[in-house]
Chains A and B, each alone.
Chain A
Amino acid sequence: QKEVEQNSGPLSVPEGAIASLNCTYSDRVSQSFFWYRQYSGKSPELIMSIYSNGDKEDGRFTAQLNKASQYVSLLIRDSQPSDSATYLCAVFTGGGNKLTFGTGTQLKVEL
């Protein structure tokens, strides 16, 4: 089992719709979770971080964390073509210093 798993996609949504990106992780003691956005040919940039169960909202983005289910998600409301990118879920794992990334979900927002 991979430490951090994401569906590779592509996930296609129409402009203005809600995009839902999901991530599961295997290390039960993990407490810090991050969503990064990566445009093609560019380096990752942080979108959201979440540390407590529940929802955390920032503009059009909402991160959701359920530690009991080992599940973290990212919702993007009113999706725009500029949101088209690969979204990477990242989790501090193993009790150490390693930030483990999923392979990313490619999101395509269509006009």
Chain B
Amino acid sequence: GAGVSQSPSNKVTEKGKDVELRCDPISGHTALYWYRQSLGQGLEFLIYFQGNSAPDKSGLPSDRFSAERTGGSVSTLTIQRTQQEDSAVYLCASSWKGGGLSSTDTQYFGPGTRLTVL
């Protein structure tokens, strides 16, 4: 596709419900990232997928958060038993080959999913 797409664009849910957020990366990009941005805050890294390697889950805030990437393309971020503090914009980004200290890889961001937990 032309860019990274995410769905839904907005999600309102009740505390305690589970939610699934979807990300379609740019075709051919092997690396996929999830970030969270709370109001007025910077981007918080959540999880990173690179090809068929085990994902880097070091940024997931709790075991209520999980993510998978099927077939090296589409990714789903699942939040179980949502809490009000989970309210944020969840951003997905993709890049050609992924990170590392010396990476010159540009990350392209999707439009985000705004999650509101009531």
Contact = CB atoms under 8 A, between A and B. Distances in A.
A49 B43 contact: no
Interface in B78-118: 91, 98-104, 106-112
A95 interface: yes
B107 A46 contact: yes
Q: How large is the interface on B (under 10, 10 to 19, 20 to 34, 35 or more residues)?
A: 20 to 34
Contact of A97 (B100, B104, B109): B100
Nearest to A31: B102
A99 B109 contact: no
Query: At the interface, is chain B mostly helix, strand, loop or mixed?
Result: loop
Interface residues of A, number: 27
Given A49-B106, A88-B43, A104-B42, A99 B100 contact: no
Interface string B19-48: 000000000000001010000011111001
B99 A98 contact: yes
Interface in A80-102: 88, 90, 92-93, 95-102
B41 A103 contact: yes
B101 A95 contact: yes
Contact of A99 (B33, B104, B108): B33
Contacts of A96: 56, 58, 99-100
Interface of B: 33, 35, 41-45, 48, 50, 56, 58-59, 91, 98-104, 106-112
